[in-house]
A and B are shown apart, each in its own frame.
Chain A
Amino acid sequence: MTWPLFGMDMPVVLDLFIRMNIIVILMTVMVMGLIYIERKVLARFQMRLGPTRTGPMGLLQSVADALKLVAKEDVRPTNADPWVFELAPYFVFVPIFIGFVVVPFASGLEVRVLDLGLFYLLAASSVNLVGWVMAGWGSDNRYAIIGGLRSVAQSISYELPLVLSLLAVAMVADSLNLTEIVAGQAGAPNILWQPMAFLIFFIAMIAELNRPPFDIPVGESEVVGGPFVEYSGIRWSMFFLAEYAALFIMALVGSAVFLGGWAWPFGEQLGLPWQIVLTTVKTSMMIFVVFWVRVTVPRMRIDQLMAFAWKLLLPLSFAQILVNGAVLVYELPSGLTHALLAGSGVAGVFIMMWVINRSVSRPRPRPVLIPRTDQTWEATR
Chain B
Amino acid sequence: MTSMAPEQEFETQDLMINMGPQHPATHGVFRMVLQVDGEVVRDVVSHIGYMHRGGEKLSETMDFRQGIGFMDRTEYLAQFNAELSYVMAVEKLMDIEVPERSQWIRMILCELNRLSSHFMFTGAFGTDVGVFGTGFTYAFRERENILDLFEEITGDRLMYAYFRPGGLAWEVTDNFVARVREVLNVSKQGIKDMDGLLTENEIFKARTQGIGVISAADAIDWGSTGPVLRASGVPLDLRRTEPYLKYAEVDFDVPVGKVGDVYDRWLVRIEEMRQSVRIIEQCLTKLQPGPILPERMPRMLRTPPGEVYLRTEAPRGEYGIYMVSKGGNRPHRLKIRSACFANLQALRDMTIGSYVADAVVILGSLDIVLCEVDR
Q: Which residues of A approach B to under 8 Å, CB–CB?
A: 42, 45-48, 142-143, 145-146, 150, 212-213, 215-216, 219-224, 294-304, 356-357, 359-362, 364-372, 376-377, 380
Selected contact of B357 from candidates A301, A356, A357, A371, CB within 8 Å: A301
Q: Name the interface residues of B241-272: CB closer than 8 Å to any CB of A.
A: 241-242, 251-259, 264, 267-268, 271
Selected contact of B255 from candidates A302, A362, A369, A380, CB within 8 Å: A369
Point out the residues of chain B lying under 8 angstroms from A299, CB to CB. Answer: 129-131, 203, 207, 357
Say whether, besides A360-B206, A364-B209, A297 and B356 are in contact (CB < 8 Å): no
B242–A304 CB distance below 8 A? no
Say whether, besides A142-B17, A215-B130, A221-B130, A371 and B137 are in contact (CB < 8 Å): no
User: For residue A48, which residue of chain B has the nearest CB?
Assistant: B137
Selected contact of A222 from candidates B16, B25, B132, B133, CB within 8 Å: B25
A367–B207 CB distance below 8 A? no
A365 to B231, CA, bound (A): 12
B61 in contact (CB, < 8 A): no
A302 to B6, CA, bound (A): 14
B134 in contact (CB, < 8 A): yes
Q: Which residues of B approach A to under 8 Å, CB–CB?
A: 4, 15-18, 23-25, 36, 39, 126-134, 137-138, 141, 197-198, 201-207, 209, 231, 235, 240-242, 251-259, 264, 267-268, 271, 355-358, 360
Point out the residues of chain B lying under 8 angstroms from A376, CB to CB. Answer: 241
Point out the residues of chain B lying under 8 angstroms from A215, CB to CB. Answer: 130
CB distance from B256 to the nearest CB of A (A): 6
A302–B130 CB distance below 8 A? no
Point out the residues of chain B lying under 8 angstroms from A48, CB to CB. Answer: 137
CB distance from A140 to the nearest CB of B (A): 13
A362 to B129, CA, bound (A): 20
Point out the residues of chain A lying under 8 angstroms from B209, CB to CB. Answer: 360, 362, 364
Point out the residues of chain A lying under 8 angstroms from B357, CB to CB. Answer: 216, 219, 222, 299, 301-302
Point out the residues of chain B lying under 8 angstroms from A223, CB to CB. Answer: 356
Point out the residues of chain B lying under 8 angstroms from A300, CB to CB. Answer: 203, 206-207
B258–A367 CB distance below 8 A? yes
Point out the residues of chain B lying under 8 angstroms from A370, CB to CB. Answer: 235, 240, 253-256
A222 to B355, CA, bound (A): 11
B253–A45 CB distance below 8 A? no
A213–B203 CB distance below 8 A? yes
Q: What are 18 A-to-B residue pairs whose CB atoms are below 8 Å?
A: A146-B36, A150-B39, A213-B130, A220-B25, A222-B25, A223-B356, A224-B24, A295-B131, A297-B131, A298-B203, A298-B204, A299-B357, A301-B357, A362-B209, A367-B257, A369-B253, A369-B255, A372-B240
Known: A46-B134, A221-B360, A380-B235; 11 extra A-B contacts, CB below 8 A, are: A42-B133, A145-B15, A221-B127, A223-B356, A298-B198, A301-B358, A302-B357, A361-B202, A366-B258, A366-B267, A370-B256
Say whether, besides A360-B202, A369-B254, A370-B256, A296 and B134 are in contact (CB < 8 Å): yes
